[in-house]
Chain A
């Protein structure tokens, strides 16, 4: 079955630690996105990539980094510079930028 896989489902981060969230899609989509979801704030765009080997900052990119070395993969690293990382992180993809998004099931990141 085609779809988007996010892993792990739950992740814990210690102070000063970098952690990486995985996002893989087998839909052959060009565009991929990372969103952060906090209660009462909806979804906020962290980074997006319209094509492999290219990505752009979203509205809240500080403290995060991404790579897009393969079409299928768009990992997100939450660095120690992100002082409030506790949130639900959603990865999404679309055939092209601006079209219907397909979402993964999310990763809940918490700070120990």
Chain B
């Protein structure tokens, strides 16, 4: 079974500063990795995903994440944040579709990014 741990429940940062939101996962099989963002009172939107290939993945709104297999991590980064980035961010993992794998998505607990002026 897979599990996802987001190490920080809240991350306060000033506008235009860089930010990193941490995510670690555990799985006995190969996985797909995702970051989703949730703005207040809304559903979730996909920021970026890692399926295979280059370990550095670029997403929307200037975000990127790096897959590190040895450390089982998929940290999200942005070099300069805006007030509009204030939201909750979820890391998620699913096992790769194949014999015996369900492909269901498991989410972390979420990290609230608070961007201050």
Contacts and interface: CB of A to CB of B under 8 A. Distances in A.
Contacts of A98: 32, 94-97, 101-105
A53 interface: no
B42 A106 contact: yes
Contacts of A100: 34, 46, 49
A66 to B, nearest CB: 14
A106 B102 CA distance: 24
Contacts of A101: 34, 36, 44, 46, 105
Given A90-B44, A103-B43, A103-B44, A97 B109 contact: no
Interface in A30-67: 31, 33, 35, 40-45, 48, 50, 56, 58
A44 to B, nearest CB: 8
Interface of A: 4, 31, 33, 35, 40-45, 48, 50, 56, 58, 90, 92, 96-101, 103-106
Interface of B: 6, 9, 32, 34, 36, 41-46, 49, 90, 94-97, 101-110
16 contacts: A33-B104, A35-B107, A41-B109, A42-B110, A43-B110, A56-B102, A56-B104, A97-B97, A97-B102, A98-B94, A98-B97, A98-B104, A100-B46, A103-B43, A105-B42, A106-B41
Nearest 10 interchain pairs by C-beta: A98-B103, A103-B43, A97-B103, A42-B109, A43-B107, A98-B94, A103-B44, A42-B110, A42-B107, A98-B97
